[in-house]
């Protein structure tokens, strides 16, 4: 196919790459990272780094976020996307801080970034982003898990990450030694077999004295205030119970 004059692509090229090329640029930022399996919070817009803007380019099928900044690594002249390092740099600048941190955790876990890349990464980012570095934890197995970790941090509670519990298995978080918190997504919890397994894990945890709270990923991503309120209510109820027991 010929997305623009002088450019030719195989017919099976992904649509996002074709549209970026047709616009006179390369796929960039969160659009390029999502293509490689990195978590990004919002994929509704097409992110394109422009190097030869085309006023007569065909109208894209969705909204476009145009990037013009200097690239830190030079892509191959025939490449339809920016280098992954530059995609990460743009994604951190382009997203809210909590989403940027989830992308960083994911990029490390997927292998897009190595720990050795962090010095260079934070050297080229504006200083305001440096606070994110001390919050990075590549143990997070999903973006919502990172976002849930940030909610727990905001509550000022003591919690452990990726905790193995005999008879239950590994859980995402254990808060204050008694509350298991796990993030449920449709991908891993949609079938009845998945739900049956999860309920038996909750039952096994209850037999050991643990309570379990499992917010859905959608709420963790888009309704964090509701998830935080639920956690705060659970933790407050435990404190009240202890206070009453001590009074007796």
Q: What angle do CA 114, 123, 64 make, to 5 degrees?
A: 80
Which pLDDT score is estimated for 187?
A: 57
Chain-centroid distance, C-alpha 48: 20
Which pLDDT score is estimated for 61?
A: 72
Nearest residue to 70 (alpha-carbon basis) of 91, 94, 45, 90: 90
User: Do the Cβ atoms of 10 and 64 come closer than 8 Å?
Assistant: no
Strand order in the sheet with 64-67: 25-27, 46-50, 64-67
Which pLDDT score is estimated for 246?
A: 59
Q: Which residue has the tokens 């989830």?
A: 102
Q: Could you tell me the residue ranges of all domains in the chain?
A: 15-135, 143-247
Chain-centroid distance, C-alpha 140: 9
Parts of the chain with a pLDDT under 70: 52-58, 185-190, 192, 240-248
Distance set, CA 230 to CA 63, 186, 226, 227 (Å): 35, 21, 6, 5
Which pLDDT score is estimated for 118?
A: 97
Which pLDDT score is estimated for 51?
A: 76
Side-chain-facing half-sphere of 55: CA atoms under 13 Å: 0
Tens digits of per-residue pLDDT, 159-197?
999 999 999 999 999 999 999 999 976 555 567 687 888
Coil, strand, or helix at residue 222? helix
Q: What is the largest CA-CA distance in the chain?
A: 83
Element (H, E) at 8: none
C-alpha 97/C-alpha 143 separation (Å) is 13
Q: What is the fold of 143-247?
A: Endonuclease; Chain A (3.40.960)
Which pLDDT score is estimated for 186?
A: 57
Which pLDDT score is estimated for 123?
A: 97
């Amino acid at each position: 196919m010929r997305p623009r004059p002088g450019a030719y692509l195989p017919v099976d090229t992904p649509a996002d790459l074709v549209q970026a090329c047709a616009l006179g640029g390369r796929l960039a930022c969160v659009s390029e990272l999502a293509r490689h399996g990195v978590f990004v919070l919002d994929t509704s817009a097409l992110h394109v780094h422009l190097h030869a803007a085309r006023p007569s380019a065909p109208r894209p099928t969705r909204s476009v976020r145009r990037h013009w900044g200097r690239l830190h690594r030079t892509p191959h002249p025939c490449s339809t996307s920016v280098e992954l390092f530059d995609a990460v740099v743009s994604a951190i600048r382009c997203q809210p801080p909590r989403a940027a941190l989830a992308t960083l955790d994911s990029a490390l876990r997927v292998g897009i970034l190595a720990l050795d890349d962090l010095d260079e990464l934070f050297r080229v980012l504006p200083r305001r982003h440096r606070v994110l570095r001390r919050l990075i934890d590549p143990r997070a197995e999903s973006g919502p898990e990172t976002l849930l970790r940030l909610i727990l941090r905001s509550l000022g509670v003591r919690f452990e990450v990726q905790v193995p519990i005999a008879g239950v298995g590994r859980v995402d978080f254990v808060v204050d030694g008694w509350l298991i918190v796990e993030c449920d997504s449709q991908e891993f919890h949609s079938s009845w077999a998945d739900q049956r397994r999860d309920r038996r894990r909750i039952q096994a945890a209850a037999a050991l004295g643990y309570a379990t709270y499992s917010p859905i990923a959608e709420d963790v991503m888009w309704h964090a205030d509701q998830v935080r309120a639920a956690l705060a209510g659970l933790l407050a109820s435990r404190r009240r119970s202890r206070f009453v027991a001590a009074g007796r």
